[in-house]
A = this chain, B = another copy of it.
Amino acid sequence: MAKAQVIDALIQALGKEKVVTDPEDLICYSFDATADMPSKLPDVVVVPASTNEVVQIINIAREYKVPVYPRGSGTNLSGGTIPIQGGIVVSMQGMNKILEIDADNLVAVVQPGVVIQDLNNAVAPFGLIYPPDPGTVATATMGGSVSECSGGLRGLKYGVTKHYVMGLEVVLADGSVARFGGKTVKNVTAYDMVKLFTGAEGTLGIITEITVKLIPAPEARKSMLAIFNNLADAGNTVTEIVRSKVIPATMEIMDKVTIQTVENFAKVGLPTNAEALLLIEVDGIPEVVEREAAIVVKVVEKNKGKIQVAKDDKERDGLWAARRAALPALAQVKPTTVLEDATVPRSKITEMLVALQDIAKKYNLQIGTFGHAGDGNLHPTILTDARDTEEMERVHQAVDEIFKTALSLGGTISGEHGIGMAKAKYLPLEFGDSGMEAMRKVKQALDPDNLLNPGKMLN
């Protein structure tokens, strides 16, 4: 039986201690952080310690034609790491060394298993930061985060993961090891393979080393809370702040459902009768911070918002605690939390927010919306129960409509969570036949036997 042979071959190549076969252990690798997804036990989990061991795993997978599912911490939100066809899960958590911090060149070189926050802690003494900050920084790995091209709260000003990945070492589906990019700020040497593998969700190769750009940490910051009695006023404020040439580090929104749920859950003193909140932070050198904060205050007031400016770090932390509570608060209302990340051009935020309210009404669902308003990246969160088949039918219809609405506003079906299994069926809506075909050709060229993360993205 192939399964036993594969396990034997893996044990022979890597040693028993790096090969996990105990059913109870395998369960932990059968799902990820995505709701409303099937789970599936892998045949085996391997925890390689080197690029060479990854090569050996790929070669065994090729020989036995067994699917390979690379995995970091499994925090992704699109079913990206579920081993839906069984086979081998390759846990990259064993390759977790920070290989180099090169402060003069503003880069760090890491293995894929390094946790994002650990990298940030390591570069902090140099006065540097690695800006991408998905909600899961404390658990997500760099490899997973690069494979998913994570976004986060600072996308508007600082960009997302792909803007920071400068070089990659990748084990390809044919078992060869390739290196692309490096430490230079400028590099136009042939195709931008670094960006092709970034966000490819492990379907084109397994990332075994990452060179990332770092930036000087901002010296000062100021957080502000703006309260609105009207969704449109909040949406217009977002657009007008950017129009005033202020690019805040973060500009987060919460709608009424979210505000009430957070307040109910965390008792942080949010105004439960408000229609929307914006949480805005500007950062930089102190002079810039003062100046930009003053402009934000003016724009908020002009748009009939009430504004509170955090006086110190304690008040700031209070405001951010409320924002961080959004998802956990919503998640405890009902057993199942379907969290989406359809994204629209920033100027369409108001239209999208209104459309989401309409969709909630139409399908008689509870939807709380929060997210990165400055990026047009909203997280409509449907509070439901996977066991309620009838309601889930309405949930799926609502999700369809959310994606179609985002696309009709010039947006995209995924701003930061990726495609995985969760959004694969919506891809043709965005790309049409020719775009799908072009991407399939790339996948087919680099992974002709469909060994890498099969059943995801393009299927």
Residue of B nearest to A286 (CB): B287
B415 contacts A243, C-beta separation under 8 Å: no
A345 contacts B183, C-beta separation under 8 Å: yes
Whether A148 sits at the interface, judged by CB under 8 Å, is: yes
B186 contacts A151, C-beta separation under 8 Å: yes
Interface residues of A in 137-192 (CB under 8 A from B): 148-149, 151, 155-156, 160, 162-163, 172, 174, 176-180, 182-192
A176 contacts B434, C-beta separation under 8 Å: yes
Q: Which of B106, B149, B191 contacts A199 (CB 8 A)?
A: B191
Whether A14 sits at the interface, judged by CB under 8 Å, is: no
Q: Find chain B residues with CB under 8 A from A354 CB.
A: none
> A282 CB to closest chain B CB, in angstroms?
12
Q: Find chain B residues with CB under 8 A from A410 CB.
A: 182-184
Interface residues of A in 393-446 (CB under 8 A from B): 410-419, 423, 427, 430-435, 437-439, 441-446
Whether A221 sits at the interface, judged by CB under 8 Å, is: no
Residue of B nearest to A203 (CB): B191
Q: Find chain B residues with CB under 8 A from A344 CB.
A: 184
Task: Assess A431 versus B190: contact at CB under 8 Å? Given A285-B291, A346-B104.
Answer: yes
B105 contacts A345, C-beta separation under 8 Å: yes
Whether A91 sits at the interface, judged by CB under 8 Å, is: no
Complex CA gap A106/B241 in Å reads 12
Interface residues of A in 68-103 (CB under 8 A from B): 102-103
Q: Find chain B residues with CB under 8 A from A199 CB.
A: 188, 191-192
Stoichiometry, as copies per complex, reads 2
A188 contacts B445, C-beta separation under 8 Å: no
B182 contacts A411, C-beta separation under 8 Å: yes
Residue of B nearest to A447 (CB): B441
B439 contacts A191, C-beta separation under 8 Å: yes
Residue of B nearest to A163 (CB): B163
A155 contacts B186, C-beta separation under 8 Å: yes
A430 contacts B102, C-beta separation under 8 Å: no
A178 contacts B287, C-beta separation under 8 Å: no
Whether A136 sits at the interface, judged by CB under 8 Å, is: no
Question: What is the interface residue range for chain A against chain B?
Answer: 35 or more
B346 contacts A178, C-beta separation under 8 Å: no
Complex CA gap A294/B211 in Å reads 32
Interface residues of A in 273-294 (CB under 8 A from B): 284-285, 287-288, 291
Q: Find chain B residues with CB under 8 A from A360 CB.
A: none
Q: Find chain B residues with CB under 8 A from A287 CB.
A: 285, 287-288, 291
Q: Find chain B residues with CB under 8 A from A155 CB.
A: 185-186
Residue of B nearest to A437 (CB): B176
B189 contacts A414, C-beta separation under 8 Å: yes
Interface residues of A in 237-294 (CB under 8 A from B): 239, 242-243, 245, 247, 284-285, 287-288, 291
Task: Assess A243 versus B195: contact at CB under 8 Å? Given A186-B416, A446-B438.
Answer: no
Complex CA gap A441/B242 in Å reads 42
B105 contacts A431, C-beta separation under 8 Å: no
Whether A343 sits at the interface, judged by CB under 8 Å, is: yes
Per-residue CB proximity of A358-387 to B under 8 Å, as 1/0?
A: 000000000000001011110000000000
Residue of B nearest to A238 (CB): B104
Per-residue CB proximity of A113-130 to B under 8 Å, as 1/0?
A: 000000000000001000
Give me 7 other A-B pairs in contact (C-beta within 8 A), A106-B346, A192-B196, A285-B287 excluded.
Answer: A149-B188, A163-B163, A172-B434, A174-B437, A178-B438, A189-B413, A189-B430
A-B contact pairs, 23 of them (CB 8 A): A107-B345, A174-B434, A176-B434, A177-B434, A178-B432, A178-B434, A184-B410, A184-B412, A184-B415, A186-B343, A186-B372, A187-B414, A188-B199, A190-B419, A190-B439, A191-B442, A195-B195, A195-B196, A215-B247, A216-B247, A287-B291, A288-B288, A441-B445
